[in-house]
Amino acid sequence: SIGAHAFSAMGSVIVKDVPPYVTLSGNPARPHGINAEGLKRRGFTAETVREIRRAYKMLYKSSLKLEEARARIWDMARSLPELRVMAEFLDSSSRSIIR
């Protein structure tokens, strides 16, 4: 499945789940950051975009295992409801996520 506010480049081959807010491209698709411009256009505050970017880095750029990153994102979601969407998506992913 593809999460809310995710963005895929034309021709991307998506074989795993795509978390909310993530941009991706390639064959196979690989993550390349968050859809910051799309989030701004949809009215997300600069602070919210910054926190979503922080969660993205935790998920993709840190040395944390997926389970550890998921737990930390849940912790962050307590103070930022927009991250709850990402945390719930990670919990319900049936095909794992693009990494």
User: What are the tens digits of pLDDT across the range 50-59?
Assistant: 999 999 999 9
Phi first, then psi, for residue 18 (nearest 5°) are -115, 115
Any domain includes 1: no
The one-letter amino acid at 37: E
Provide the pLDDT for residue 94: 85
Any domain includes 79: yes
pTM of the model: 0.91
Any domain includes 48: yes
What span, in angstroms and rounded, lies between the C-alpha atoms of 30 and 18? 10
Any domain includes 2: no
Question: Count H helices, E strands: the chain?
Answer: 4, 3
Give the residue among 42, 32, 39 at the shortest CA–CA distance from 12: 32
Cis-peptide into 28, omega within 30 deg:
yes
3-state secondary structure of 49: helix
| CATH number assigned to the domain comprising residue 85 | 1.20.1180.10
Any domain includes 99: no
Spell out, as residue ranges, where the chain has pLDDT lower than 50. Answer: none
Q: Which domain holds residue 26?
A: 7-91
Domain count, the chain: 1
